Structure 1
């Protein structure tokens, strides 16, 4: 599996704005190859519907038939990349691209909400509960500073995965990054951890 699928065509990115396709692609990336029937049971949809959307994902290059795990009755699909990437500036150059970007932001937010809701600290050892959580911070940066921040986080993530990824205690962990300039007209959006009287502080 390749690391990244770099997309420049809004029509291709639009293919994963469909919520069911987005979920199935995420499952194939996280859990490995599966058939339409297997995915249908996981997402609560018919195999006919999942089969159609899997073919659409394949059409736009996100997944492919798995030649190593053929099923005699049904195609088994696998993801071609670990994640999808695009350039916001290039994608926003057209009305279609701007619309797709807005929908993708909502899909990313949906995925984050699902990951948070699915976490039950009581079902995990105490050490996992101790390091799990979210942090929202308000800092002053330039666009170049944000770009450098993302680059350095990517480097650190790769370093940590190389160091700990093969450890028997390692688990798949949801990691998320966001960065949006705050509008001065929206004071209610100020993160709680940025408030002077906040008791919660920063969650790891």
Structure 2
């Protein structure tokens, strides 16, 4: 699997921003190859619906057929890239690009909400319950400071993942970070 798929076309970003496609691609990335029927059962959709959306993801290079694990009658699909990225500044140069980035940001937030909703505290030992969750901070920072945070967070996660690779106590973990400047009106109103 390649590391990253960098998108520069707003139309391609819109293709992957479809709610079901985001989920399907995420499942293929996190759980590995699957058929349309298997994915349909996981997301509560018909195999016809998932097949259509998988073909769209294939058409735009997000997934590929997994020829190593053929399932007789049905194709198995796998993700081609670990991550999808785009240059928000470049995309924001057009109305279509701004719309595509906005839609994708909303899909990312929906995904975070879905993962948090599915997390059942009763199914995990205390050590995982202790570290799971989210924090939010309201800070007054320049864009350069947020960029520094992003870069250092990525470096730290890369080092930690390498250090704990192969640890038998490890689990697949979703780690998020994000920052969005607040409007001047929100700042003035103290929200």
TM over 0.5, yes or no?
Answer: yes
Give the paired residue count: 190
Q: Distance in 2 between matches of 1:132 and 1:49?
A: 33
Q: Distance in 1 between matches of 2:12 and 2:99?
A: 13
**How far does residue 189 in structure 1 lie from its aligned partner after superposition?**
7.3
Q: Distance in 2 between matches of 1:8 and 1:141?
A: 28
Residue 90 (structure 1) aligns with: 90
Asked if 1:59 corresponds to 2:59, the answer is yes
Unaligned regions of 5+ residues in structure 1, if any?
Answer: 191-204
**How far does residue 130 in structure 1 lie from its aligned partner after superposition?**
0.8
Asked if 1:77 corresponds to 2:72, the answer is no
Q: Distance in 1 between matches of 2:184 and 2:122?
A: 40
Q: Distance in 1 between matches of 2:159 and 2:74?
A: 39
Aligned positions of 1:1-204 closer than 5 A = 1-186=1-186, 190=191
Deviations 1:169-199 (A, max 9, x none): 1011111111111223125774xxxxxxxxx
SS at match of 1:185: helix
SS at match of 1:77: strand
Closer/same/farther in 2, CA of residues 189 and 68 from structure 1, 3 Å limit:
farther
CA RMSD, 1 decimal: 1.3
Q: Distance in 1 between matches of 2:139 and 2:2?
A: 34
TM-score (norm 2): 0.95
Deviations 1:71-104 (A, max 9, x none): 1101100001111111110011111111111111
